Amino acid sequence: MIHHVQLASPPGSEERSRRFFVDRIGLTEVAKPAALAGRGGCWFTGPGVAVHIGTEAGFRPARKAHPAIKVPDLDRLHAELTDVAATTAIDDTELPGHRRFYTCDPHGNRLEFLAELPHRWTLGEGCIVRRATVADVAAIVSLLRDDVLGSSREADDPDLYAEAFLEIDADPRQFLAVVEDPSGSVIGTCQLTFTTTLSRQAATRMSIEAVRVANAVRGSGVGKRLITWALDQGVQRGATLAQLTTDRTREDAHRFYRSLGFNDTHHGMKLALPPS
């Protein structure tokens, strides 16, 4: 697993690096360790990526070798960088399953930004399930709020959820799914998390969380088809156990999951932790 990517820059160019990677790309600057701070340069981090900019006497930009950085909103970033002469058009033909474009940082180093093309699975009756995008966050939070328990525990801070989405989307062991009806409205969601353990002969477990179906379509079979799809995803990714927790007061949910083959074999326990 790669810890970070390293790019070079001319001595004394830190402010130019900051204006580009923080103000334009949206990364966050992190302090360099004391033992390295005197060497110049600056470090940046974002969901799933760490970029270290070092300074180099006799600097020459990297024109061929480059980092490829996955971003949640490729179109927004492309629009932000159209004034950079090196920015190419977005291409969705060369790299299978992805859209991407190239540009350069202020020092002339080549950069590539990319996003996965959305894969869609059919759920029947005109519905599809796909990986959520940043544009779906508001609809997902609305579904989470749309019941007795959710209405009291969700916040009214869009930035809070947007930041969490970026972390989820950058994690290859997370899959935040949404269900679209034939009109394109989001009517369901669930989050899958894959955890490899040493127990159960080094089993991979799939946890299913935050399952919600819009009130208007409950009882129509959408939830059953969504969980059936989720279980198939678990099999395809090598999971040997699917697990979930459901609130003790959700008696309808208990019956629903039992009808799909789940058994209440364990006692789930939770403990709220204080803010750090």
pLDDT tens for residues 248-268?
A: 999 999 999 999 999 999 998
Superfamily of domain 5-116: 2,3-Dihydroxybiphenyl 1,2-Dioxygenase, domain 1 (3.10.180.10)
Between β-strands 5-9 and 49-55, what pairing exists: parallel, antiparallel or unpaired? parallel
Q: What is the pLDDT of residue 1?
A: 81
**In the chain, what are the domain boundaries?**
5-116, 120-259
Q: What is the pLDDT of residue 147?
A: 83
pLDDT tens for residues 200-236?
A: 999 999 999 999 999 999 999 999 999 999 999 999 9
Q: What is the pLDDT of residue 88?
A: 98
Judged against a pLDDT cut of 90, whether residue 276 lies above it is answered with no
Which residue is associated with the tokens 């609809």? 139
Judged against a pLDDT cut of 90, whether residue 181 lies above it is answered with yes
Q: What is the pLDDT of residue 250?
A: 92
187 within 8 A of 180, measured Cβ to Cβ? yes
Q: What is the pLDDT of residue 130?
A: 97
Q: 1-5, 16-20, 90-94, 136-140: lowest mean pLDDT where?
A: 1-5
Once rounded to an integer, what is the mean pLDDT over residues 264-276?
Answer: 92
Domains 5-116 and 120-259 share a fold: no
pTM above 0.75, yes or no: yes
175 within 8 A of 132, measured Cβ to Cβ? no
pLDDT tens for residues 1-31?
A: 899 999 999 999 999 999 999 999 999 999 9
Once rounded to an integer, what is the mean pLDDT over residues 132-158?
Answer: 91
Once rounded to an integer, what is the mean pLDDT over residues 32-48?
Answer: 95
Phi then psi dihedrals of residue 165, to 5 deg: -60, -40
Q: What is the pLDDT of residue 61?
A: 98
pLDDT tens for residues 57-87?
A: 999 999 999 999 999 999 999 999 999 999 9
Euclidean distance between CA atoms 127 and 257, whole angstroms:
21
Q: How confident is the model at residue 148 (pLDDT cuts 50, 70, 90)?
A: confident
Confirm or reject CATH 3.40.640.10 for domain 120-259, answering yes or no. no
Judged against a pLDDT cut of 90, whether residue 41 lies above it is answered with yes
Once rounded to an integer, what is the mean pLDDT over residues 123-131?
Answer: 96
Encoded tokens for 72: 């949640």
Q: What is the DSSP string of the chain?
A: ----EEEEE-TT-HHHHHIIIIIIT--EEEPPPHHHHTT--EEEEETTEEEEEEE-TT----SS---EEE-S-HHHHHHHTTTSTTPPPPBSSSSTTEEEEEEE-TT--EEEEEEEPPPEEEEETTEEEEE--GGGHHHHHHHHHSSHHHHHH--S-HHHHHHHHHHHHH-TTEEEEEEE-TTS-EEEEEEEEEEE-SHHHH-EEEEEEEEEE-GGGTTTTHHHHHHHHHHHHHHHTT-SEEE----TT-HHHHHHHHHTT----S-----PPPP-
Q: How far is CA 166 from CA 94, 133, 155, 175, 176, in A?
A: 26, 9, 17, 12, 11
Once rounded to an integer, what is the mean pLDDT over residues 102-122?
Answer: 96
Q: What is the pLDDT of residue 257?
A: 97
Q: What is the mean pLDDT of the chain?
A: 96
Q: What is the pLDDT of residue 153?
A: 86
Q: What is the pLDDT of residue 95?
A: 97
Q: What is the pLDDT of residue 162?
A: 94
Once rounded to an integer, what is the mean pLDDT over residues 142-171?
Answer: 91
Judged against a pLDDT cut of 90, whether residue 150 lies above it is answered with no
Amino acid found at 144: L
